Amino acid sequence: MKSLAGKVSIVTGAGRGIGRAISVLLGRSGSRVALAARSESQLRAVGEEIRDQGGEALVVPTDLSLDEEIERLVTATLEKWGSIDHLINNAGWGKTGPILKAKREDWDATFRVNLRAPMVLSQLVLPKLMEKGEGAIINISSVSGKSGQENTAAYSASKFGLIGFTESLYEEVREYGIKVTVILPGFVDTPMIPPIKRLDRTRMIRPEDIARAVLFVLTSPITSCPVEITVRPQKSPYV
């Protein structure tokens, strides 16, 4: 039997990059997957890929900066499959640039997608996981959530916050049998990373490597919870 047979997972930022890889692997592992992001065409392509491999997918175009759309994502998933087992908070966004030139509305947008949406989604799905006495919430932070760098202040602050949220939530719900995990990737070869001359993309982490870390958490024994996983490129991408 497939390792996640019968499970239901919500994956945010599912249209490309890391979220796409997570969704495809979960689908292949037997989980039904609700795909959320703003770009419907990208979600549809991922849904097709999952169905082509024999899996089940639900496309829910969602702007995670809006509470009513987050609520609609959870409602649509429950209407379709009647339960939720895994929430993968993967969507992320940030603008680089010096703090003095930053627009405050960009900070707000970053905090809403990277930090607030995972908190709202967790609040909405937790009752279902608690009822079952099992399940998992996995948050995709970043190595930028442990060390700040110039020109990434809001992004880094949001990713630090996501680690704090994860640690608190884990303490709050661990007795319910719910796994709560934060994954901290280094450079991953996705559209988020623009072409930069001194970065060798072939040395970056593959999105599929992060998907494997997610599957590792979801298939971990009930007696343990991998609370924090850092995944760094084996060889430095800086050339």
The candidate with the shortest Cα–Cα distance to 49, out of 64, 69, 66, 35, is: 35
Please tell me the distance from the alpha carbon of residue 76 to that of residue 55, in angstroms, as a whole number.
18
Task: Classify 213 as helix, strand or coil.
Answer: helix
185 binds ligand NAP per the rule CB under 6 A: yes
Cβ contact 151:94 at 8 Å: no
Among 10, 87, 91, 217, binds ligand NAP (CB under 6 A): 91
Please tell me the distance from the alpha carbon of residue 166 to that of residue 137, in angstroms, as a whole number.
9
Among 9, 10, 17, 23, binds ligand NAP (CB under 6 A): 17
139 binds ligand NAP per the rule CB under 6 A: no
User: H/E element holding 138?
Assistant: strand 135-140
Q: What are phi and psi of 33, to 5 degrees?
A: -125, 125
The least distance separating ligand NAP from the CB of residue 17, rounded to whole angstroms, comes to 2
Please tell me the distance from the alpha carbon of residue 73 to that of residue 9, in angstroms, as a whole number.
12
72 binds ligand NAP per the rule CB under 6 A: no
Among 16, 86, 128, 179, binds ligand NAP (CB under 6 A): 16
The residue (of 135 and 185) whose beta carbon lies closer to ligand NAP is 185
Cβ contact 18:90 at 8 Å: yes
228 binds ligand NAP per the rule CB under 6 A: no
47 binds ligand NAP per the rule CB under 6 A: no
Is residue 170 annotated as a catalytic residue, yes or no?
no
Among the residue ranges 48-56, 58-66, 96-104, 222-230, the one whose residues contact ligand NAP (CB under 6 A):
58-66
Binding mask 98-137 for ligand NAP (x = CB under 6 A): ---------------x------------------------
161 binds ligand NAP per the rule CB under 6 A: no
138 binds ligand NAP per the rule CB under 6 A: no
DSSP secondary structure letter of residue 206: P
Cβ contact 152:96 at 8 Å: yes
Residues 6+ apart with CB under 8 A from 148: 156, 160
Of 155, 170, 176, 238, which one is the catalytic site residue?
155
Q: Which amino acid is residue 2, in one-letter code?
A: K
The least distance separating ligand NAP from the CB of residue 86, rounded to whole angstroms, comes to 16
55 binds ligand NAP per the rule CB under 6 A: no
The residue (of 82 and 195) whose beta carbon lies closer to ligand NAP is 195
Catalytically active residues, by annotation: 155
